[in-house]
Amino acid sequence: MTRVFLASRNRKKIEEMERILREHLPEIEVVGIDDVDGYDEPVEDQPTFEGNALLKARAGLAATGLPSLADDSGICVDALNGMPGVLSARWSGPPTLRDASSLGSSGTGGSLRDDKDQRNNDLLLAQLDDVPDERRTAHFQCAVAFCHPGGEELTSGVMPGRVLRAPRGDGGFGYDPLFEADDRPGVSTAELSREDKDAISHRGWALRRMAPIVARILR
């Protein structure tokens, strides 16, 4: 089994990356931040998705010694001049005391992410409340970086669509319940099957470009 590190605590994202990578390297295992003791996450302070992805992948390689993948992604809304963009995950601000108390003794961060996703979605809907349907265009963007002892690789992907007026579906994560992709009209990306979302998503496109590169380097 070949192991790679993904600089993320999001189990759904880890599973998604492992599914796509296994199409090219069946024996691969993806481990995340919660699988590494005492991991110190770097501050994502770069102005671009590519910069943040490289920053996290470099930190992962340095901390674990494993070939390391990282992605940075977000939703870019035309009516908000491309925002939230790189600020998508923290659009509604830093975690609150209420978010932290929802973790209980599990320490997994699942409830924290769910509460934060809800606050981010609520804020985005409020900001677009008076924006007509024809101006609610947006796209998801993703950059994926791969850092290994021999160098660095970078790929990207985009999923165009629009922001809905209310959340729909309980799949996916982040802004998925609010987003309708141009390639799948009539449903939110939170209503798509895993396979269907992988086929059209910004992360899916970036990973499918990265997967053969990872396989070639790690074989």
**φ, ψ dihedrals at 210, nearest 5°:** -80, -35
pLDDT on residue 105: 36
Q: What is the mean pLDDT of residues 106-119?
A: 63
DSSP state for residue 42 in the 8-state scheme = P
DSSP E strands: which ranges in 53-194?
Answer: 68-77, 137-148, 151-163, 179-181
Contact 167, 87 (CB under 8 A): no
Q: Is 119 marked within a binding site?
A: no
Domain encompassing residue 74: 2-218
Q: Is 8 marked within a binding site?
A: yes
Task: Specify which of 21-25, 59-63, 170-174 reaches the highest per-range mean pLDDT.
Answer: 59-63
Q: How confident is the model at residue 95 (pLDDT cuts 50, 70, 90)?
A: low
CA–CA separation, 104 vs 82, rounded Å? 36
Q: Is 22 marked within a binding site?
A: no
Share of the chain above pLDDT 90, in %: 72
pTM of the model: 0.84
C-alpha distances (whole Å) from 26 to each of 3, 22, 212, 214, 215 are 11, 4, 12, 12, 9
Q: Is 197 marked within a binding site?
A: yes
Q: Is the dihedral of CA 79, 205, 45, 11 positive or negative?
A: positive
Task: Specify which of 35-39, 42-46, 75-79 reaches the highest per-range mean pLDDT.
Answer: 75-79
Q: Is 72 marked within a binding site?
A: yes
Q: Is 116 marked within a binding site?
A: no
pLDDT on residue 113: 54
C-alpha distances (whole Å) from 77 to each of 24, 60, 82, 175, 199 are 33, 30, 5, 12, 22
Q: Is 151 marked within a binding site?
A: no
> What confidence tens digit (pLDDT) does each residue in 113-142 have?
568 899 999 999 999 999 999 999 999 999
What CATH number is given to the structural domain containing 154? 3.90.950.10
Coil, strand, or helix at residue 201?
coil
DSSP E strands: which ranges in the chain?
Answer: 2-6, 28-31, 68-77, 137-148, 151-163, 179-181
Q: Is 5 marked within a binding site?
A: no
pLDDT on residue 96: 62
Told to judge if 71 belongs to the known catalytic residues of this protein, a careful annotator would answer: no
Catalytic residue selected from 34, 37, 71, 72? 72
Position with higher pLDDT, 86 vs 97: 86
Contact 64, 5 (CB under 8 A): yes
> What confidence tens digit (pLDDT) does each residue in 159-181 have?
999 999 999 999 888 999 999 99
Domain count, the chain: 1
